[in-house]
Amino acid sequence: MFNQQARWDRKLPQASGNNSQLLKEKISVLCLFAKGKVLPRYFFWKNHTFRIEKVLFYWQEQQGREIISYFSLKTNEGLYQISFSNITFSWRLDKIIDT
């Protein structure tokens, strides 16, 4: 097993570079749970509906007992990263990658 990153490391400014806009806002997601997979279809943010055209990448991160599932998405309006926590059962919009 490889160690997770140190927690305060994440707090350091994402600094410079190809900065995606960090949001970490709670959102509502319409998704399909099928064959052991989570397949987000739409998400709703700021009174707006985003249709998910493709899940570009998926990964998980364990923080203690909490498993956070991350999705990099292509929507009809741009590229976004959302995440789902198995403990709080909540979805977050983490980043706007590109619009």
Partner 1 sequence: MIMHIDMDAFFASIEQAINPILRGKPLIVGSRANKYNTVVCAASYEAKRLGIDSGMPTTRAFQLCPNALFVVAESSKYTYVSEEIFKMLKDYNVSVEHYCIDEFDLYFPDSQPESKAKILTIAKSIKQRIKNTFNITCSIGIAPNWYLAKIGSKIGKPDGLIYMDKSNYLNIINDLPVEKICGIGPNLSKQLNELGIITCGQLLQYPKNLLVERFGKIGSWMSQCLNPNYYTEILKKESTIPKSISHSYTLPKETQDIQLILSWLRMLSETISNRLRRLNLEAKTICVQIANSIQQGLFKRKTFQQGFWLGYDIFRCAKVILDLKNGYKISARIVRISVSNLGIKLQTPLFENEIKKEILYQKVGQINDKFGEWTIYPAIIKLISEIPKDNETPK
Determine how many CB atoms are found less than 10 A away from the CB of residue 43. Answer: 22
CB of 12 to partner 1, least distance (A): 5
Query: Which secondary-structure segment (H or E) carries 89?
Result: none
Task: Tell whether residue 97 is a contact of partner 1 (CB under 8 A).
Answer: yes
Within 40-79, which residues bind partner 1 (CB under 8 A)?
Answer: 56-57, 59-61, 63-66, 70, 72, 74, 79
> Who's near 20: CB < 8 A, 6+ residues apart?
14, 81, 95, 96, 97, 98
Q: Using CB under 8 A, pick the residue from 45, 50, 81, 83 that binds partner 1.
A: 81
Within 3-42, which residues bind partner 1 (CB under 8 A)?
Answer: 3-9, 11-18, 20
In one letter, which amino acid is 67?
Answer: I
Comparing CB distances to partner 1, the nearer of 15 and 34 is: 15
Record the tokens describing residue 54, joined without a space. Answer: 């493709």
Burial code of 57-66, b = ≥16 C-beta within 10 A, e = fewer? eeeeeeeeee
Interface residue list for partner 1 (CB under 8 A): 1-9, 11-18, 20, 56-57, 59-61, 63-66, 70, 72, 74, 79, 81, 97-98
